[in-house]
Every structure is written in structure tokens, then in C-alpha cells.
Structure 1
Amino acid sequence: MKVSYHGHSVVKVETATQTILFDPFISGNEACDLNADTIKADVILLTHGHNDHVGDTFEIAKRSNALVVAPNELAEYLGNKGLRTHPMHIGGKHTFEFGQVKFTQAFHGSAYTQEDGSTVYTGMPAGILLTIDGKTIYHVGDTGLFSDLKLIGEMNDIDIAFVPIGDNFTMGPEDALVAAKWINAKTTVPVHYNTFPVIEQNPDTFAEKVSVGEGKAMKIGDVVKL
């Protein structure tokens, strides 16, 4: 299984038979090396409904007939737009053909801004635990620091965790280092930084300070094999 990072919070997971995308914000994301017009996915996992996370879900899912797994209200909104969805919610898990998905809490917001400028509430934000062939990926989602991250780390053997460090909209590097310690992943990767001026951070400095497991500042397109 190959896990790659593509800027902001975009993560791609490739198994022998499936391509899975987390939060595919590609168009308008200058850091992303993917092409929204050509990339195909079997599954799209969404942490919440903000436009910089839903991203190109509509286009990719319609072209690829991808299954979109998302918090209930967001899944309902996307389903009403014609996408194939599976709604879930915090604390719930489900075993799919491609692996097991469990949604965890995250402290943030969740609303989608439509082309006409109107905003649609899309339910609670979340983190996502994805387990495939005994390997667990934790996409923490957009969140501030909260103490149940320690419980999540104790309850799950996490191989790689993607943790936001940008500050302003999510936790910053200092809080993210505490989160990394609590999550206790074998590898911690910083995400959600440098996309906009207000969230500029140094991922290498963060990675060097990770005190549990390995801190890894993945460059755009970098791949980790699990």
C-alpha cells in the first residue's frame, strides 16, 4: 500500500486494487501536483464540508463513479447533487470492500459555500481512521487540540497520522506536537499549512520536534509505503 501527500490536506492511498483520496482540494491549490481533470478515484473520504476539503469531489466522483464517504449531512448534500455516497458519523465505523473506516471527533466548523455564495451547513467535522490490511492511517482533519486524541492513540495502533499545523484555522505547531505525542503514531506528517499566507509554517521544524515515533515532513508527491 502506498500513501502519498499532495498539499494542504490532500492524501492519496493506493492499494493493489483501489485508489482512495482524502479531502481532494486540487483546483485552486497551487501546492497540489494532481490534475483534477484526469485523476481517478474509487473512494473519496471527506473530513468536513469546507470548500478547501471538499475541493474537486464533484468532478472526480462524477467522472470516476467514486463512492464518497462523509459525515451524514455532508453525504446527504452530495447525494442530492447526484453523487454516490455513504453517510457516517462520529464514533461509527463501517467495513467496506477496500477497508474499515471509522470517524472520530474534531473541533472545527463545517459548511459548504455554493457558487451563488450561499452557505449550506454540512454537519459535524471529523477525523478519519482508515484501516487496510492491518495498517491504520489517521487523517486528523481540521481541528484544535483536544484531550481525546490521547484516547484515540491508546485505542488504535496508528501507522501514520496526518496532523494539521497551520494555526489560525486549526491547531498550530505547538499544539500539534502535543497531539502527535498523544496520537502515538509510528509516523506523524504535518498537513494544512502554507496554502494561504495566514497558515504559513515550517514543516521541517515541526517534524524535527516530534517526540514519539518519526516526524516526517512529506514533500508534494512524496510516497510512504505501509
Structure 2
Amino acid sequence: MAIEHGDLTVSWLGYATARIEASDGTVVYTDPGRYGTLDGTWAQQYGGASHPSSDPYDARDGDLVVVTHDHHYDDDGIERVASEDATLVVYEDVSAERITAGGRDVVPPEDLPYDVRRVAYGDELTVAGVDVEVVPAYNHPDGPNAPGGDPIHPEGFGCGFRLTVDGVPCFWTGDSDVIDAHDDLEVSLFMPSIAQNFTMDRHDAADLAERLAPDLVLPIHYNTFPDLEADSQAFAGDVAGRGVPVVLDED
């Protein structure tokens, strides 16, 4: 379903994919694809959880597509959402060679038929009227997502994005624990991961939501497959109990 937030229409399409549409028709996508979320096979592979499930998605209406890191890079997903004249903003460390060596064959971003821009922590740019700020994202070396002290998402491996769409600052955390870089962000729409593994969990995301005090919280990146299971109803109750508006976008 679609969520209305001010002049924005926002949908969670599954995994880390969110679609944000402005009142002027500008469309932004975060981290499109993977795990059957856009090719219509998610339900057959993982169905049963509270998570979007739909027929194959092939809108090709995105003016801006952002990609946070290797785990969320999917050239097929990008081609399902990007318009012919789309701009693809990709974190600098995303490596098709490394992804392919890991067993998932992908086309390098620069080989796709779009305007591709590589970005690093702290970069700011404007694309299709959307202000893009690149926010650090990583797991703490001494935290639960660093088995043996080796972070699953080390600093420098990926990022998050603050996207100001139609004047509304929207923050997608990427695959990250809660980190100091989050503390001073001005956020109206907060889209955190609430998965039980690999990223901040629902408890840490609720704490961060309370500190950021956004106008609305819409969690994404959970329940896609068993390792990402989360009690979204408990998260929503926790956040609402702190006086922060929250909504779930689930089938």
C-alpha cells in the first residue's frame, strides 16, 4: 500500500526498496531488488511473513535511484525501477567484481544505461530536484553485528542516505548500527532497518527514532528472509509509546 506523508507518497516494496514520489511527480527509489522482491518470486521463496509481496514490478519511472552497498546492489532491480534518463547514485565502494566473486553475477553500475554518480561519506549533491546527503553506515567492531570483532558492514563499506524530496528530509539508514553520525540529522520521514541481525534492531531503531523526533517513522528492511525477522507490531507500539508517529507498510 502507499503511505501519504505531507506531499509525498511512499511505499515499501520489500527488502531495502522504498519508493518516494513527490507532488511534482519526481520519483526516488532506495536499493531496489534482491530476494525476489521485484521479480514476483518473493512469496514462493519466503512468503508468510509481514512483508510486501506483489507481481513482478517493472515501473521504470525512477528519476533517482540510490544504492548503499554491495549487499543491496542488484542491476536487474535497478533496471526495473529506473527511467531511461534516471540518475543512479552509488556509494563509492560498491564493487561488481567483488559481488561476482562472491557468487552473484552482476553488471557494474557504470555499464548500465544511466547517469551514474559515485559518492562518498559527507558528499552532498542535487539530482532531479532532490538534495542527496551521504551518511556513514557501519557496524560497531565491538557490537552484536561483528562476530569475532569483524564487522559484517565495516566502516567504509556502505552508506545511508538523507534525501530531501519536495522539501521533506527522508532518512534511509542503510545497513548500519546506530552511530554518532545519526545524532544531528534533521529528519521528517525516518526509514530505519529493524532487522534482528546485520543492522540496528527494533530496540535501537526505536531509541534513535525518539532522539531524532521525526514526523513519521516507516521501517523497512525486515522480514525479507528468516535472518531479518522482526516484531514490527512491537516496534510500532514502542515508537508510538514514545510519542513518535509510526506506520507499517505490509501486505
For the criterion TM > 0.5, the same-fold answer is yes
**SS of the residue 1:70 aligns to:** strand
Q: Is the 8 A contact 2:35 2:224 kept in 1?
A: no
- Report deviation, 1:65: 3.9
Pairing of 1:50-65 with structure 2 (within 5 A): 50=71, 52-54=72-74, 56-60=76-80, 64-65=84-85
- Report deviation, 1:62: 7.2
Q: Number of matched residues?
A: 202
- Report deviation, 1:32: 4.0
- Report deviation, 1:78: 0.8
**SS of the residue 1:164 aligns to:** coil
> Deviations 1:101-132 (Å, cap 9, x if unpaired)?
00101115xxxxxxxxxxxxxx6311111112
Change (3 A) 1:176 1:32: same
**SS of the residue 1:74 aligns to:** coil
TM-score by length of 1: 0.78
Change (3 A) 1:99 1:163: same
2:13 match: 6
Q: Within 2, Cα distance between the matches of 1:146 and 1:83?
A: 32
Change (3 A) 1:8 1:91: same
Q: Percent identity, aligned pairs only?
A: 23
Structure 1's unaligned 5+ residue stretches are 109-122, 221-226
1:125 match: 158
Q: Within 1, Cα distance between the matches of 2:175 and 2:89?
A: 17
1:97 match: 128
Q: Is the 8 A contact 1:91 1:103 kept in 2?
A: yes
Q: Is the 8 A contact 1:49 1:74 kept in 2?
A: yes
Aligned-partner residue type, residue 165 of structure 2? I
Q: Within 2, Cα distance between the matches of 1:47 and 1:89?
A: 10
1:42 match: 63
> Deviations 1:44-63 (Å, cap 9, x if unpaired)?
1112221x453634433776
**SS of the residue 1:218 aligns to:** coil
Aligned-partner residue type, residue 40 of structure 1? D
**SS of the residue 2:62 aligns to:** coil
Q: Within 2, Cα distance between the matches of 1:62 and 1:9?
A: 16
> Deviations 1:15-37 (Å, cap 9, x if unpaired)?
22322111111661223436344
Q: Is the 8 A contact 1:69 1:75 kept in 2?
A: no
Change (3 A) 1:35 1:47: same
Q: Please say which of residues 70-79 and 41-50 is displaced more in the overlay.
A: 70-79
Structure 2's unaligned 5+ residue stretches are 1-7, 43-51, 97-107, 140-155
Aligned-partner residue type, residue 196 of structure 1? F
1:214 match: 245
Q: Within 1, Cα distance between the matches of 2:55 and 2:68?
A: 19
- Report deviation, 1:213: 2.0
- Report deviation, 1:13: 1.2
Q: Within 1, Cα distance between the matches of 2:120 and 2:15?
A: 23
Q: Which structure is larger by alpha-carbon Rg, 1 or 2?
A: 2
TM-score by length of 2: 0.71
